Amino acid sequence: MEKEFWLQRWQEQQIGFHEGRFNSSLLNHWPHLQAPHSGSVFVPLCGKSQDLVFFAENGMTVVGIELSHIAVDAFFHEQGLTPQRSQYGELQCYRAGPYTLFCGDLFALDTEPLKDCHWVYDRAALIALPETMRRDYCQHLARILPRPCRNLTITLEYDQSLKAGPPFSIDPSMLAELCNDLADLVLLGERPEEVKGITAVEYSMVLNYR
């Protein structure tokens, strides 16, 4: 979607995509992925997600990027933290405790802030992007992430003809096609979900970047 769409959603607090709690699929699958407790995780289009707190409580440092400063400010406020702010190229950088959050365009982020991030968590980024942007997004992540690196991605599948996205319907075969020359995909599980009153399937997958 256009940047203005998401900025307006945060401005008007139309944030039904914000769960306000730890994601249940994250809770189910993360303990079995053997992630180091002292590692670092990257969360693209992170909003003010409580999942950031989940990773911090599991001993990890967290790097995120979000388009809206309203979301970033709200996250630190809700955590009772006062971040130090600086400029990083085109991006604003907020740092406090285990969190480093960048505000701005994801495509302006480069390799340096992610050099220690060997995990990615994508619950609300890929499914927020229209088809025309998904390939560029996947390629950009593969380009700026270190190796080895694994990506826990959560997507939704439903009849897109019944409702316009976002969130957009992306099933495992679509993700595999997007990343066929970038990463190997492992399906962890699926469960029923509801999207705007429509029956859907939520998939949890891991991408192992080559």
Query: Tens digits of per-residue pLDDT, 130-149?
Result: 999 999 999 999 999 999 99
- 69-120 pLDDT tens trace: 999 999 999 999 999 999 999 999 999 999 999 999 999 999 999 999 999 9
Quick one: average pLDDT of 36-65? 95
Q: Rounded distance, CA 208 to CA 93, Å?
A: 28
> Would you say domain 3-209 falls under CATH 3.40.50.150?
yes
Quick one: average pLDDT of 166-188? 96
Alpha carbon 146 to chain centroid, angstroms: 17
Q: Rounded distance, CA 179 to CA 169, Å?
A: 16
Q: Rounded distance, CA 11 to CA 96, Å?
A: 24
Predicted TM-score of the model (pTM): 0.95
* pLDDT confidence of residue 89: 96
pLDDT score of 169 more than 60: yes
pLDDT score of 15 more than 70: no
